[in-house]
C-alpha cells in the first residue's frame, strides 16, 4: 500500500492529502506564485482548496507569516480568482 503524503493547511490547521491542497510558493527571487505542479523551488505553504480557507489565510495573514513575505494585493486577487475557477 502506498503512503499518501499529508500536509497541513495553514488556514484551517487540517491535515489533508497533498492533492487536496493548493501550494503557494515564495520563489528564491522573492516572488509569490501559485504552484500548480507542487514541485517548484522555494518556500512553500499549503492551503485547503476552499474560498473560506483563503479568506481565513488573508485575514489572519497566515500566508504572509508562512512565506515570510508581504503579499501584493494583486496576488490576493489572483488567488481568489484561481479558487473561483477551480
Question: pLDDT digits over 17-27, tens only?
Answer: 999 999 999 99
The CATH number of the structural domain formed by 8-85 is 3.30.1230.10
Cell numbers of 79, please?
488567488
3-state helix, strand, coil in the chain (%, to 5): 35, 25, 40
The pLDDT of 29-57, averaged and rounded, is 95
Q: What is the pLDDT of residue 38?
A: 92
Query: What are the residue boundaries of the structural domains of the chain, listed by start?
Result: 8-85
Q: What is the value of pTM for the model shown?
A: 0.92
Amino acid at each position: 500500500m502506498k503512503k499518501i503524503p499529508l500536509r497541513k493547511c495553514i488556514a484551517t490547521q487540517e491535515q489533508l492529502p497533498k492533492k487536496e491542497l493548493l501550494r503557494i510558493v515564495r520563489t528564491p527571487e522573492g516572488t509569490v506564485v501559485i504552484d500548480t505542479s507542487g514541485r517548484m523551488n522555494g518556500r512553500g505553504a499549503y492551503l485547503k482548496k476552499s474560498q473560506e480557507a483563503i479568506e481565513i489565510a488573508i485575514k489572519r495573514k497566515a500566508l504572509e507569516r508562512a512565506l515570510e513575505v508581504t503579499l501584493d494585493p494583486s496576488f490576493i486577487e489572483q488567488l481568489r480568482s484561481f479558487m473561483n475557477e477551480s
